Amino acid sequence: MPVDIKIEQHKTDVLVLGSGGAGLFGALHAKAANPDLEVTVAVKGLLGKCGCTRMVQGGYNVALAPGDSVERHFMDTVEGGKWINRQDLAWTLVEQAQVRIRELENELGCFFDRNPDGTVHQKAFAGQTFDRTVHKGDLTGIEIINRLAEQVWARDIKRMEDHRAVALIPAKDGSRIAGVLMIDMRAGIFRMVRAQSVLLATGGGPTMYKYHTPSGDKTCDGMAMGIRLGLTLRDMEMVQFHPTGLIAGEDTRITGTIIEEGLRGAGGYLLDGNGERFMHKYDERGERATRDIVSRGMFQEMRTGTIAKHGGLYITMKHLDPTMVKKNFKGMVERCGDCGFDLVSGNVEVVPTAHYMMGGIVFEPDCKTEIPGLYAAGEDTGGVHGANRLGGNGVANSTVFGGIAGDTIARETTPGAPLVEPDQSAIDEAIQLCCKPLNRPPAQIDQVRTKLWDHMWEDAGIFRDAESLARAKATLDDLDGELDTIGVADTNLAYNLTWHDWINLKNLILVSRSVVAAATAREDSRGAHFRADFPDVRDLENSTYTVVRMKDDKITLGTEPVDFTIVKPGETLIDETAA
């Protein structure tokens, strides 16, 4: 270990990892319910300026309008999830979304778009039987995060910005969580933060794929820390690809960022390289089918070679009212214009892009995990969405369960109570892993990232089979070994971005191994997981979900039966005869 490695100590009652919708709601609810708690939010970047909630364009699904209902929203969610959702989690989502949307408006000050009569406007999103997506134009996430961040800044909530979590540290006796080992990125030092309660809300971020929507700082850190601690992850094969990621060439990071789903909901067309519509060949709903179906349809069209300039396809709104497009999708019009595309009267090149991890850490409806004192919410968790997340259910998931986590933490945490002794061997092991590249001669790391992107896209992406998954597993093993031979300059660890790139890739490769293992185990096709060698959805009544664990650096797989606690396949909660 380099001699200049420094470790500082810090204490707090509650430590929240992440400053998206889940983390900020968790912090606010914990502080509101128990004001004497010292609550600290630690974030990899700047609070309010990073994370995926801020990037949400489309909106927030919630049953508000006459004709809609919690039951209808629930059925859309479990049918979209192909019946592997944990149903009590899905029910909590749709029921509490009604509470949280009013909290966002009435207590936090969010302004959402309105109808002429003053009611909240709700737009169409794919895969739903009712137009229930609340929004602020096409910049909904910015509205939510700005208001949440304002409230955090206005309260006595501590902040640790530019701090990345690298390991969840158990108690010396193994009885509960003791805290989190972090790196202060500004100073280049380690900081052991001891806490009674820890909320894991770092978000997902499938940036292991060639085309991806999240920013580069999103590298599945929470899932990687969880699996190293011994937590169980479920549904890891379920990686969602958003159908319409902007493609502007190989040399710009804007490639992969979303062209929002509301465009298709409003009547936008997908076109092949010759300007012809094609989605009718894959689903009777056409462009308004669920994300998994549209992404597969697009990928199949791309394989035919009838593609656009950069290898993608097109989305167009030119057949629609231009005034409506400019008004309702102002942010999208401007983003496309920045890249040389005319969304109003032309064609915009798009490609399916890795967007969201439906799988994640197993947790309970009150956000507890199997480790006492450790809670989880948002995209770090699995079970809510099943095999396919409906657009608009993501930010609802984060805010609903973030608030619940904060309430649970407030009940179970005592201000100023003694902290348990951390397991020093776990701290030493985590530091040793992080410092591994600091003991080696510097080398180029970009080649590992590029190989990871390409192989995950080709072998474990939208289409998979036994042969491709075997290739992916072998490649990931090779890349993990190759990464362990790469060193970075360690003369100055403050903002040493190459060092953090190395840690990012270590986490992404580990989570990718989990994805490939789960995808290999599931020998049927469900939602986002499509096995070309097992293309059928089979035996819904006896559905199982995958579970992934790690022991002695080896991924272990299992399956568990889905418990249909509310409704079974073939049944419905919707009364079709009701007025």
**Single-letter amino acid, residue 329:** F
Tell me: do 229 and 364 sit in the same domain: yes
* 573 occurs within a structural domain: no
Element holding 296 (H helix, E strand) = helix 291-303
pLDDT number for residue 468: 98
The H helix count followed by the E strand count for the chain is 14, 18
Give the C-alpha separation, 166 to 2, whole Å: 18
Give the C-alpha separation, 464 to 468, whole Å: 6
The secondary structure of 119-173 as a DSSP string is SBPEE--TT-SS--EE-STT-HHHHHHHHHHHHHHHTT-EEETTEEEEEEEEBTT
Question: Residue 325's closest CA among 85, 522, 137, 524?
Answer: 137
Tell me: do 155 and 21 sit in the same domain: yes
Tell me: do 315 and 339 sit in the same domain: yes
How many angstroms separate the Cα of 164 from the Cα of each of 28, 45, 70? 21, 8, 38
**Positions in the chain short of pLDDT 70:** 1-4, 249-251, 576-579
Active site residue 310: no
Dihedral Cα 474, 476, 479, 483, nearest 10 deg: -140
* 569 occurs within a structural domain: no
**Single-letter amino acid, residue 58:** G
The secondary structure of 244-264 as a DSSP string is EEE---TT-TTTT-B--THHH
Tell me: do 136 and 227 sit in the same domain: yes
Tell me: do 56 and 159 sit in the same domain: yes
pLDDT number for residue 268: 95
Give the C-alpha separation, 19 to 335, whole Å: 25
Give the C-alpha separation, 220 to 204, whole Å: 5
Last residue of one domain, picked from the residues 305, 325, 354: 354
* 567 occurs within a structural domain: no
CB 238 within 8 A of CB 249: no
Q: Please state the domain count of the chain.
A: 3
Q: How many CB atoms lie within 10 A of CB 436?
A: 19
pLDDT number for residue 565: 98
Tell me: do 345 and 217 sit in the same domain: no
Question: Residue 202's closest CA among 26, 79, 366?
Answer: 26
pLDDT number for residue 3: 46
The CATH number for 272's domain is: 3.90.700.10
* 565 occurs within a structural domain: no
The CATH number for 495's domain is: 1.20.58.100
Tell me: do 55 and 175 sit in the same domain: yes
Tell me: do 468 and 361 sit in the same domain: no
Tokens of residue 398, six digits: 């984060």
**Residues belonging to the chain:** 579
pLDDT number for residue 426: 98
Q: Residue 363: helix, strand or coil by DSSP? A: coil
* 13 occurs within a structural domain: yes
How many angstroms separate the Cα of 158 from the Cα of each of 11, 32, 36, 41, 194? 11, 14, 13, 6, 14
Q: Which of 29, 135, 264, 513 is catalytic?
A: 264
pLDDT number for residue 443: 87
Give the C-alpha separation, 360 to 548, whole Å: 9
| φ, ψ for residue 337, nearest 5 deg | -60, -35
Last residue of one domain, picked from the residues 354, 375, 395: 354
pLDDT number for residue 1: 46
Question: Residue 8's closest CA among 225, 193, 167?
Answer: 193
Q: Which of 10, 147, 191, 242 is catalytic?
A: 242
The CATH number for 124's domain is: 3.50.50.60
Cα first-last separation, the chain: 70
Report the interhelical angle of 393-412 vs 140-154 (nearest 10°): 20
* 570 occurs within a structural domain: no
Instruction: Give the list of residues 6+ apart from residue 536 with CB closer than 8 angstroms, or none.
Output: 524, 525
With 0-12 / 13-18 / 19 or more C-beta atoms within 10 angstroms meaning exposed / middle / buried, residue 559 is: middle
Active site residue 264: yes
Tell me: do 311 and 442 sit in the same domain: no
Give the C-alpha separation, 152 to 156, whole Å: 8
Tell me: do 393 and 523 sit in the same domain: no
* 550 occurs within a structural domain: no
Give the C-alpha separation, 91 to 370, whole Å: 21
CA atoms lying within 13 Å on the CB side of residue 565: 10
Q: Residue 210: helix, strand or coil by DSSP? A: coil
Could you list the residue range(s) of the whole structural domain that residue 327 is in? 245-354
**Single-letter amino acid, residue 415:** P
* 343 occurs within a structural domain: yes
Tokens of residue 503, six digits: 């840690």
Tell me: do 112 and 226 sit in the same domain: yes
Rg (CA), the chain: 23
Tell me: do 209 and 89 sit in the same domain: yes
Q: What is the pLDDT of residues 435-490, one digit of tens each?
A: 999 988 888 899 999 999 999 999 999 999 999 999 999 999 999 999 999 999 87
Instruction: Give the list of residues 6+ apart from residue 106 with CB closer than 8 angstroms, or none.
Output: none
